[in-house]
Structure 1
């Protein structure tokens, strides 16, 4: 989130608990954060982190890189918090490379612990150390269980949502992540309200971290 106020309004109009994860530095990041606060919508900071495809795969200019030392990481984290000051937690944007490195993630999680923020691991690599390290450091954390919209197709998104429902029923809860694409928003607007009839309660992600 953070590139458009229109998509923020469309998601809010669904009228069910969702959590906005805002990339700091996008054109409308502060507007979206202010709108979320006014609408009672929980926010996280969506931290850009180096992927295995970088630099061929673009990363935001303010993203975290392996080449950064702890002081630089802490400085970036402080800048993110200044842009989205009411965020309750963070999750990683990309980061398939960065989240595999314990020393770098320790610096990130140390800042989160100091600020009382939680961490949701987007699990962009099976070798991520994020959740384990957060638990070790005493940072409230959770992990993504399902990506809803790797394909921009309504049937695919519904199928992924059904998988999240199955996991929630089996395990008691599930965290699903998606992007604010038009197809995703349209599908969620149709598919989320009926979930209550399946015994599913939608909650902000802060309720699911521990």
Structure 2
């Protein structure tokens, strides 16, 4: 009888020890996963490239900064070639109709165009921006708010194996939704860095960008090649890594180019209205 009791006590002790060991082991195994997930990144897209001769100064920025180049502008081809030679990601900054009637520039897509008209302009724009791997909208507050032309446009993007970044020039945009519905790799702009071109305003938006990156894991900013913006970025980006944040390319959002968001996840991500 005594031997049986001792066996039961030993068995219970072994069970308790094994449970403790398993708990410690699982905690240890989870540590690398948690550490790997804490790797915030920002993606910086420089829009409106190709209009001014001063845009060449943007080539001095880190090569992770993406150039979104306007089609058929004075420096479109030159800056596409130079940026590509640096190994920089290049996007087509596709002009689209805004609400306020502002001039879009060459190759702009308008509400009411036939599909063939849109396709001809899109192909012309892509031809003028060699090496483009994705598209974001230039202006476009009116066009991106309408589902029908956006569905047509997303079908064109899908057929050419490109991704789309919604610049979110209007809170009414449906561009991201239609891209998701079409099964296109898609992401959105979270911050306009230089909507107000003062040092103080850009510093506030930059701080908000870093905060969003820490909260979400990744945050996307759009800026422009204004001299004051370039000076600001040249002063800030060299110190980014010391703040525990990486500067990623836009193509890093899509590896190996799946959608950044699935339909199941879209409701979990807050809609970022323009700031």
Contact kept? 1:47, 1:91, Cα under 8 Å: yes
User: Does 2:213 align with 1:168?
Assistant: yes
| 1:14 Cα deviation from its structure 2 partner | 2.8
User: Does 2:108 align with 1:49?
Assistant: no
Give the aligned length.
207
**2:201 maps to which of 143, 146, 156:** 156
| Alignment partner, residue 126 of structure 1 | 171
Q: How does 1:131-142 map to 2 (within 5 A)?
A: 131-142=176-187
Greater relative contact order (Cα < 8 A, sep 6+): 2
SS in 1 for 2:67: strand
Contact kept? 1:45, 1:80, Cα under 8 Å: yes
User: Does 2:110 align with 1:62?
Assistant: no
User: Does 2:74 align with 1:27?
Assistant: yes
Q: How does 1:73-88 map to 2 (within 5 A)?
A: 73-88=118-133
Question: 1: CA distance between counterparts of 2:59 and 2:131?
Answer: 17
Question: 1: CA distance between counterparts of 2:168 and 2:161?
Answer: 22
| Alignment partner, residue 37 of structure 1 | 84
| Alignment partner, residue 15 of structure 1 | 62
Give the RMSD, CA atoms, in angstroms.
Answer: 1.2
| 1:5 Cα deviation from its structure 2 partner | 5.1
- In structure 2, the gaps of 5 or more residues are 1-48, 260-275
Which structure has the larger Rg over C-alpha atoms? 2
User: Does 2:156 align with 1:108?
Assistant: no
Contact kept? 1:45, 1:89, Cα under 8 Å: yes
Question: 2: CA distance between counterparts of 1:154 and 1:201?
Answer: 22
SS in 1 for 2:218: coil
| 1:193 Cα deviation from its structure 2 partner | 1.1
**Bigger CA drift: 11-20 or 168-177?**
11-20
Question: 2: CA distance between counterparts of 1:175 and 1:44?
Answer: 14
TM-score under structure 2 length normalisation: 0.73
SS in 2 for 1:192: helix
| 1:127 Cα deviation from its structure 2 partner | 1.2
| 1:16 Cα deviation from its structure 2 partner | 4.7
Runs of 4+ in structure 1 over 2 Å off:
4-8
- In structure 1, the gaps of 5 or more residues are none
